[in-house]
Chain A
């Protein structure tokens, strides 16, 4: 017969807490250990395909994102980290004053940006009560982290267009927050 040794109570409690944490999904895998299989196509003067890891390796910016839907449902605020859309457009050959940027997604959604928006300008911004406020400095990024964690699929991850501000109290219209981005095209005009 195999002798059964009683676990010390403290060790038992720690193990139990670990089991609880696992059951609650609190112990995620280490960041970057399980990079999603997701590519981004940049189509401009030439076509380039970036892997998720290559996108993460690009210079990153961070800020607060807070969006509102067409019927007034607010999402956020959250912190986001990602790559400037302008940097990605530069990698595709850059955009002229009249060019348009088509950002499209796996689910068939498309939104079009112009050069001022690429530079964070000409967005409408709102306060918590959805009253319009003058737009503070904004940046348009392709986000891959939300609140320090990889952006979840149901939140539009692994790559989502996000308009960020320097403070958490700036709400932007959600129509440009394209989820599941897999292609960025520069349309010359």
Chain B
């Protein structure tokens, strides 16, 4: 008969062995940490499954963040990240072409642009005005006082400040002075009013961006707007086209002059600036300038598994060669 003390000792040894990983007979998989922007989560999760199928020895771990937060995981927070993919290509040179240590090498010196997107007006069959809204009259529908419009917080989400840029560009494009205030600005107290100087339109946000009435709704990220659209809490949301498509929503395509989707119109987009209410991160300023929406991917120089990360980046670039429903659009 085994004495209780001996049994206890065996249990303790087993726990110790498990804690030390001694009983793990499975070969260790290389864990690749990939940080994509929120609007890339769905395509990257699909790519992850296909990549792991081809490379069973690699475990890709996807952790979504807003684009700036995605970069900060590498820079400010100094985490060991293998791949970063953002919804605004300019963030990589702005935030990562800086030395990792004083006088040392940069976090990265390259990025690969791989997809584009555009802002659309997403809605459902139940949205007020759903039967009449078109690509021609959308701004008149959104301007109606009984129509509730949502966008994500410009402090937190690139899609949020892009919504403001699109509305300001629309005012110019349609020759409708005051359109920005009617759709968005007048919902704030004091109203948000664009200023114009030297051919540049600037929207300056307060520190706390909180609408004073129910005409405009702001949430931290686009997923909360989708849920509000579904629940009838808002009628229309400024979203990326791929997100509207992925979630089976109806949407209105906007003209290329205002949808931030055309590389050829970059000069026109640059005429709209958004100044955020405060500098949320010490590592990036609070001025956002209109530009075409371009997704980009890179590997931090200190990626723990650079060979596997390179393979994954190549896999992503190849996957984005063809147009897929619910994914950002491939670019040349």
Residues of A whose CB lies within 8 Å of any CB of B are 9-10, 12-13, 16-17, 19-20, 23-24, 69-73, 100, 102, 107-114, 122, 124, 126, 130-132, 173-175
Chain A residues near B153: list those with CB within 8 A: 175
- In the complex, are the beta carbons of A109 and B65 less than 8 A apart? no
Question: How near does chain B come to A63, taking the closest CB pair, in angstroms?
Answer: 21
- In the complex, are the beta carbons of A107 and B76 less than 8 A apart? yes
Q: Which of B14-22, B26-34, B317-325 lies at the binding interface?
A: B14-22
CA distance in complex: A122, B64 (Å): 26
Closest chain B residue, CB of each to CB of A8: B5
B77 in contact (CB, < 8 A): yes
- In the complex, are the beta carbons of A173 and B220 less than 8 A apart? yes
Closest chain A residue, CB of each to CB of B210: A122
- In the complex, are the beta carbons of B5 and A175 less than 8 A apart? no
CA distance in complex: A101, B219 (Å): 20
- In the complex, are the beta carbons of B219 and A124 less than 8 A apart? yes
- In the complex, are the beta carbons of B208 and A70 less than 8 A apart? no
CA distance in complex: A110, B278 (Å): 8
Tell whether A20 pairs with B16 under 8 Å between CB atoms, given A13-B5, A71-B38.
yes
Chain A residues near B1: list those with CB within 8 A: none
Question: How near does chain A come to B85, taking the closest CB pair, in angstroms?
Answer: 13
A sample of 17 cross-chain residue pairs with beta-carbon separation below 8 angstroms, ordered by A number, consists of A9-B6, A16-B13, A20-B15, A20-B19, A24-B15, A69-B64, A71-B38, A71-B41, A71-B223, A100-B208, A108-B281, A108-B282, A110-B278, A122-B210, A124-B220, A131-B231, A132-B233
Closest chain A residue, CB of each to CB of B77: A107
Select one of B6, B207, B220, B282 contacting A70, CB under 8 A: B220
Residues of B whose CB lies within 8 Å of any CB of A are 3, 5-6, 8-9, 12-13, 15-16, 19-20, 38, 41, 63-66, 69, 72, 76-77, 152-153, 155-157, 207-208, 210, 219-221, 223-224, 227-228, 231, 233, 277-283
Chain B residues near A173: list those with CB within 8 A: 219-220
- In the complex, are the beta carbons of A71 and B207 less than 8 A apart? no
Tell whether A13 pairs with B9 under 8 Å between CB atoms, given A70-B157, A72-B223, A112-B277.
yes
- In the complex, are the beta carbons of B20 and A23 less than 8 A apart? yes
Question: How near does chain B come to A84, taking the closest CB pair, in angstroms?
Answer: 20
Select one of A20, A70, A109 contacting B221, CB under 8 A: A70
Question: How near does chain B come to A12, taking the closest CB pair, in angstroms?
Answer: 7
Chain A residues near B69: list those with CB within 8 A: 70
CA distance in complex: A110, B285 (Å): 12
Known pairs A10-B5, A109-B76; list 14 more (Cβ under 8 Å): A9-B6, A12-B5, A20-B12, A23-B19, A70-B38, A70-B152, A70-B156, A71-B38, A72-B223, A107-B72, A122-B210, A124-B219, A132-B224, A132-B231
Chain A residues near B208: list those with CB within 8 A: 100, 112-114
Closest chain A residue, CB of each to CB of B9: A13
- In the complex, are the beta carbons of A12 and B19 less than 8 A apart? no
CA distance in complex: A13, B213 (Å): 68
Closest chain B residue, CB of each to CB of A12: B9
Question: How near does chain A come to B23, taking the closest CB pair, in angstroms?
Answer: 14
Chain B residues near A9: list those with CB within 8 A: 3, 5-6, 9
Closest chain A residue, CB of each to CB of B64: A71
CA distance in complex: A100, B12 (Å): 55
CA distance in complex: A72, B65 (Å): 9
Question: How near does chain A come to B11, taking the closest CB pair, in angstroms?
Answer: 8
CA distance in complex: A9, B233 (Å): 68
A70, A108, A111, A173 interface centre (most CB from chain B within 10 Å):
A70
- In the complex, are the beta carbons of A175 and B156 less than 8 A apart? yes
CA distance in complex: A174, B227 (Å): 17
- In the complex, are the beta carbons of A17 and B280 less than 8 A apart? no
- In the complex, are the beta carbons of A112 and B207 less than 8 A apart? yes
- In the complex, are the beta carbons of B19 and A24 less than 8 A apart? yes
- In the complex, are the beta carbons of A71 and B76 less than 8 A apart? no
